[in-house]
Amino acid sequence: MRGFVALLLFVAAGCFAAAATATTAEVKVCGTVVGANWVFPGTGGKVSGNKYGVLANGVSCAFAKKWVVKLSSKTLAGKKAGRSYPLAGGPPGYTCTANPDANGKVLAGACKSGKNIFSWGGRP
C-alpha cells in the first residue's frame, strides 16, 4: 500500500510539475477533499476511494479544493489510463488536464492560468 500511495503522489506531482512554473517553496499542500469515487487502474477494483490530495500555487486552498470537488465528477470516456488529456469545465481562464481512472473518471489532474495552478490526485 505504501508503494501505491507513493505512485498516486507521483501522478499528482507529475500533473503539477508539467504545468507549474513556480518554485516548490511557493506550493501549498492543501490536504484532502472528498469527491467522486475513483478506481486505480490495473488493480481490479481493489484500490479505490473518494479522497483527493490537493496542491496549490498562486490560488487559495479553498479555491483549489472547491474546483477539485467539481472536477472529480468529470469523465474522460474512452481515454487510456496513465495518460493526460484536456479536461473541460474548469475555472474560467484556466487550462486543465487530467488522468483517467479504471472507469474513465478523473483520478488526477491540474489546472493552470499563468502562474496560478492547482493539482490533485486520488488518495486511498
pLDDT of the residue at 25 = 58
Q: How many CB atoms lie within 10 A of CB 80?
A: 11
Query: In whole angstroms, what is the distance from residue 73 CA to residue 68 CA?
Result: 9
pLDDT of the residue at 121 = 97
The model carries a pTM of 0.80
| Residue owning grid cell 474513465 | 104
Domain ranges within the chain, ordered by starting residue? 2-123
State the 10-residue block means of pLDDT for the chain, 124 residues long.
45 47 74 96 89 98 98 90 93 97 94 97 93
pLDDT of the residue at 45 = 80
